């Protein structure tokens, strides 16, 4: 089995993690059995789109359209790599 090129990957949140708005924190958090990670708005926006149905390129296009920005691919790729290394995404 060969891995997909990064732009064709369809990242999805690992089943042990749950993304949710935390009213007490007034921020998005990533919950997992051992604790919680408080996310900044950018990280939350990326993870919300990691549903397994969108390629990384589609996710980037959606973010650029939603926020009216261009050229965010390097930052999104870096975050997805970080999140994958941390086990948040598969």
What is the chain's mean pLDDT, rounded? 92
Contact at 8 Å (CB) between 31 and 80? no
Distance CA 77, CA 50 (A): 12
Domains of the chain: 7-85 (3.90.930)
Percent of the chain with pLDDT over 70: 91
What CA–CA distance (Å, rounded) separates 65 from 12? Answer: 21
Q: Is pTM beyond 0.85 here? A: yes
pLDDT per position as a tens digit, 43-53: 999 999 999 99
């Amino acid at each position: 089995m060969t891995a997909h090129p990064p732009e064709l990957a369809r990242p999805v949140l690992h089943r042990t993690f749950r993304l949710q708005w935390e009213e007490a924190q007034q921020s998005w958090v990533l919950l997992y059995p051992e604790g919680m990670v408080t996310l900044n708005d950018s990280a939350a926006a990326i993870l919300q789109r990691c549903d397994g149905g969108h390629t990384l390129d589609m996710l980037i296009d959606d973010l650029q359209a939603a926020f009216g920005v261009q050229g965010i691919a390097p930052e999104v790729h870096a975050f997805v790599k970080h999140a994958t290394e941390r086990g948040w995404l598969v």
